[in-house]
Amino acid sequence: MPFEAYKIYEEYEPDKYKTSTQKKVEQALSSAKKEGLIPERKEASIEFEEAREIFGKDFLGPESAEATFGVELSQEELEQIEDIPFSREELEQAKQLGMMLVLRVPRIGKEKNAKSFSINSVREAFKDDDKLGDPKKKKSNIFYDQDWYDNESFATQDTPSLGWGLVMKEVLQESRSKNWDEQEEALKAWAKENNIDPAKVRRRKPIEIIYDTLLYYGTNKESLLENSYDWSGVQSSGGNFVFVGLFDSGGLFVGNVPRGYTLSNLGVCPSR
Amino acid sequence: MSNSKESLPPIPNMPTTPERIIQERGVDATKEKEKLSPEQLEARVQELMDLSAARAEASKHVRESWGGLTKDEREELKKEEGQNTGAVAAQFDALKVDPELAEFSENVLAEYDQRIQELGSNPKVIEAYGERFEGMKDALAKVLEYEHIQKELDAITSSEQKLRLMYEKVGRSPGPIERTKLTDLAKRKEELQKEISGFELDPASIDMLRRREVRGMQRDLERYNFAETESRTELIREVLPDLLHGAPILFQGETGSGKTQLAKYISHRFLGHEVSPISISEQIKESQIMGRVTLKEGATDFLYSEMVKSMKEGRPVIMDEINLMPHEFQGILNEIFQLRIGSTWKHPSTGESIKVAPGFVIFATANLKSERYKQRYELDVATLRRFIGGAGAREIHYLDLGKKSKEGEYIAPETLKILASVLADRNGNIIWSEQESPQKLDELKRFVGACRKIQEDFTLSVREGSEDSLSRGDKLAFKELVITLKDQIEIMKAWKASGFAEPLESIVLREFFRKAEISGRAAKDRENMVKVFMANKFFKDTDPEDFNIQGLSSKTVRQWQGKE
C-alpha cells in the first residue's frame, strides 16, 4: 500500500474536514451545553476528595507521587493542579470505562536529590532493587535489562508534563492484533462510541506509560500491563514506534516495531 | 456576480482502464478460470487499482513527450500521411525525444497493459474492481458537490467584499435596488454556509478531498511555480479587493521568501495576466519609467515604457527591489502610485491623457536588509505611505517562520504540505512502503526542521545584522546563504526521482551543498548549515571531504560527528 501524501501534514489540520458522525457529536454536545445538560468546566471542576471517592484505588494523586517517586510538590505546583480538568460526569464515565486518574509530576526525588523524571533517571533510581512492590512478591527488576534505548531522546530527554491525566488501565481489547494505523482508527471508534471528542483521546508517550505504570505499582502493589504492551506515538531514532509493557517479574520491557506490525498483545491504552 | 444556484453535470460513464485494456487485448484464457481465495482476490483488486493509477501517470508522461499524442495516434498520423511530405516525421523529430527513453517508456506501458490484462481476465477480479471503482465514483460525486458549494461560497464572499469596498471608495450608501441585491447575496451566502456545515462527509470522501487538494497544489506548482497554503490564501483574500481596484502593493521580506513568486501568482491567477517586470537599479533612468523619444521613418516618435503600456492595456507590473531606487527617483513614481483603475493621468512628456485600464496594478518588492545597509536601502517615507494607502506594505516571510504547536514545539505544516504534494504522484500517493514510511517521514521532518532553523537564523541575522549579537545561545549567523522553499522543492524532486532509494542526506549534499559552491563564497554560511543538518541527525558518517567547504577541516567535521 503506498503512503497517502496528506498524512504528512494532516495532523496540523484536525478541523479541516469532519465526518457527519463527528459533526453530529459536536452538535449534540453543543446543544446539550446550551440547554445546561453539560455544565461548564469551571463549575464542574471537583475537589480531590470527590475524585478520590469516584476512583478509589485508581486515584493516583500527590500522595501517590510522593510515596512512589519521593517527589514533593511546591505551593505553586499545588495551585497549578488544584483544578482537575475533568467534570464529575467525565470522571464517573472514565471510572466506568476502566480508567485511572493520574497526577504526573516531571521530577523524581526530594530537594537536593530531585532529578528530572526521564526514563533514564528512573531506571537509575530503581536499578538495584524492587523498592516499589509488595516486599513478599518482589520483581527481580523494575526494568528489563536492555540497552538499545540508552541514548534515545525519548529516554534521555522526555519528561511528563505536570498535570492530570485519565488513562485506561489495560489496552483496548479491540486494539490488539492491529497495526499502528488500524489502532488509530480503533481509538477514534472507541471515543465516538463513548461520546468523547476523538481529538482529545491520544496515545501515551513512553515516559508517561512508565510513569503511570510505576505509580500504580508503587501505590497499589499491583502490576498493570503485565501481559500486554501499550504502543506509543513516539518514534525511535530508527523510525519505529516505541511500545512499553510486559511488566512481569522480569521488569518493564521497552521495544520498538514498524507501524505495520501486529501482535496479539500489542494494543493501546486510550488516554486523555 | 454569482447569486444563483448552479447544478453539476453527472460524472460520465467511461470504461475503466482494465475494461479498456481487456476490450483492446482480449481476455487471457490462462487466467480466466483461476480460483482465488478471498485474500488473493483482495490483493489482486488492490494491485489492479495501483497499476491502473500508475499506468495513467506513466501514459500521461509519454504522451506529453510526444506532443500530447498516444502511440496509436502517432501511428495513425504517419499512416495517413504515407510517404508524401514527411512533415509529420519532421514534426516528431523536432520534439527531440531520446529514442532510448522512448523505447523504455513504451515497453513499460506495454508491461503495464500486460499485467492489467492478466489480472483483469479473471471475471471475479474485474467484478470486484468495478464495485470498488463505482464506490470511488460515488465518493467523487459527493466531493465534487462539496467543492462546488465551497467555490460558490468563496465567490459570493469575494463579491460581497468587492461591493463593500466599492461603496466605501465612492463614499455612498447602496440604493434600494442595490440593497435588495446585497440582501439576496447575504441570503445565498447563509444558505451555502448551512449546506456546507450540514454536508455529510464520510471517511472515503474526506480521503478523496485531501487527495484532490494535493493534486490541486501539484497543478498550481506546475502552472504558476506557486502553491497556496493557508497563510498565503489569507493574505490574498485580504489584498485582492484593493488590487482589483488598481491599488499598488509592496511585499517586503527576506531573500527567497517568495515575494516575486507571490506577485506573479496573484497576477496570473486572479488578475488574468502575466506580470510585466520593470527593472530597477541604482542607475535607473526616467526613460525606463516614462518612455523615450525614438526615430521612426525619419521622424521622432515617443516610445512608451513597459509601465505606461501596461497602464494603457490593463496589465500588472512588478518592480523588484524597489528600495534600490534612489530616493529622488521615488518621487517621480509617487504620482503613479496614486492612480487607480479608471483614473486619468497626463503623461509628462507627450501630454497624452491616459486612462488607467482595468487590470493595471503595481506590485513592488523589497528585500529586508541588515542594519548596516538600512540607510541605503530604506524606502522613502512618502513612497511607503503610497503603498500603505494602497493595497498595503506587507511583510512576506518564509513559510511557517516561528510557528509552534500548542505544546511549544516548532512545526512547519505549510512547508510540509507543499513538499508532500511534490513527493506525491497524481493520485496523492508517495511510493513509500508500509515498512519504510516511518523512517522516510522522519527523514523528511528532520530535513524540514533543519531548513526551518536555517531560515530562522538567517532572518535573525538579517534583522540584527551584527555577527556578535548572534553568537549567543544556539543562534548561528548567516550572511548571504539560506535554504529557500524553492531549494527544498528541488531537493524533494531529486529524492522522488531517485525512487527514494538514495538517502535524503546524499540528495541534500548533491543538490544543495555542491550547487552552493561558488568559489569559496559563503563558506562560513555553508559550514553553519552543515552544523544545523548534523544537529538534525544528518551527515553522521559523511566523509568531511565531501562537503568541500573552504576552511572547514576534516578534524572539525569529525568532532561534530562525535568521532574525535
Mean pLDDT value of segment A153-172 = 93
Instruction: Confirm whether A11 is domain-assigned.
Output: no
A259 touches chain B (CB under 8 A): yes
Model pLDDT, residue B344: 93
Model pLDDT, residue A43: 41
Model pLDDT, residue B7: 58
Mutation target to probe the A interface, by most A beta carbons within 10 A, among B437, B448, B504, B538 is B437
Q: What is the DSSP string of B277-336?
A: EE---TT--HHHHHEEEEEETTEEEEEE-HHHHHHHHT--EEETTGGGS-HHHHHHHHHH
> How many angstroms away from the CA of A78 is the closest CA of chain B?
21
A74 touches chain B (CB under 8 A): no
Q: CA A105: distance to chain centroid?
A: 13
Instruction: Confirm whether A29 is domain-assigned.
Output: yes
Model pLDDT, residue B11: 65
pLDDT tens track for B215-273? 999 999 999 999 999 999 989 988 998 898 899 999 999 889 999 999 999 999 999 89
Instruction: Confirm whether A9 is domain-assigned.
Output: no
Which chain B residues are within 8 Å of A3, Cβ to Cβ? 429-432, 434, 437, 440-441
Domain ranges of chain B: 17-121, 230-396, 432-561
> How many angstroms away from the CA of A57 is the closest CA of chain B?
30
Query: Above 80 in pLDDT, residue A124?
Result: yes
| Nearest residue, CB atoms, A258 vs list B46, B416, B438 | B438
CATH 3.10.50.40 fits B230-396, yes or no: no
* Overall domain count for chain A: 1
Could you tell me the residue range of the domain that residue A34 belongs to?
A: 24-267
pLDDT tens track for B393-450? 898 999 999 888 766 778 899 999 999 999 999 889 999 988 899 999 999 999 999 9
Instruction: Confirm whether A241 is domain-assigned.
Output: yes
Chain A to chain B, count of Cβ pairs less than 8 Å apart? 88
Measured distance CA(B433)–CA(A161) in Å, rounded: 35
For residue A196 the three cell numbers come to: 468523547
Asked if A133 and A180 touch (Cβ cutoff 8 Å), the reply is no
Instruction: Confirm whether A3 is domain-assigned.
Output: no
pLDDT tens track for B91-117? 777 777 787 888 888 889 999 999 999
Instruction: Confirm whether A5 is domain-assigned.
Output: no
Query: Above 80 in pLDDT, residue A37?
Result: no
For residue B249 the three cell numbers come to: 502593493
Give the number of other Cβ atoms within 10 Å of residue A50's Cβ: 14
**Cα-Cα-Cα-Cα dihedral of A175, A176, A180, A186, to 10°?**
-10
Per-residue pLDDT band for A265 (boundaries 50, 70, 90) equals confident
Phi, psi of B349, rounded to the nearest 5 degrees: -95, -45
Q: Could you give the C-alpha distances from B68 to A253, B56, B63, B92, B93, in angstroms and in order?
A: 59, 13, 5, 11, 15
Model pLDDT, residue B248: 94
Share of chain A above pLDDT 70, in %: 93
Query: Above 70 in pLDDT, residue B82?
Result: no
Model pLDDT, residue B4: 44
Cβ contact A23–B435 (<8 Å) = no
| Nearest residue, CB atoms, B420 vs list A6, A19, A260 | A6
Instruction: Confirm whether A15 is domain-assigned.
Output: no
Q: What is the value of ipTM here, to two decimals?
A: 0.80
Mean pLDDT value of segment A105-122 = 90
Packed helices B99-120 and B123-170: angle between N→C axes, nearest 10 degrees: 120
| Nearest residue, CB atoms, B442 vs list A17, A20, A235 | A235
Return the minimum-mean-pLDDT range out of A190-194, B187-191, B359-363, B369-373: B369-373
Secondary structure, 3-state, chain A: CCEEHHHHCHHHCCCCCCCHHHHHHHHHHHHHHHCCCCCCHHHHCCCHHHHHHHHHHHEECHHHHHHHHCCCCCHHHHHHCCCCCCCHHHHHHHHHCCEEEEEECCEECCHHHCEECCHHHHHHHCCCCCCCCCHHHCCCCCECCCCCCCCCHHHHCCCCCCEEEEEECCCCHHHCCCCHHHHHHHHHHHHHHCCCCHHHCECCCHHHHHHHHHHHHHHHCCCCCCCCEEEEEEECCCCCEEEEEEEECCEEEEEEECCCCCCCCEECCCEC
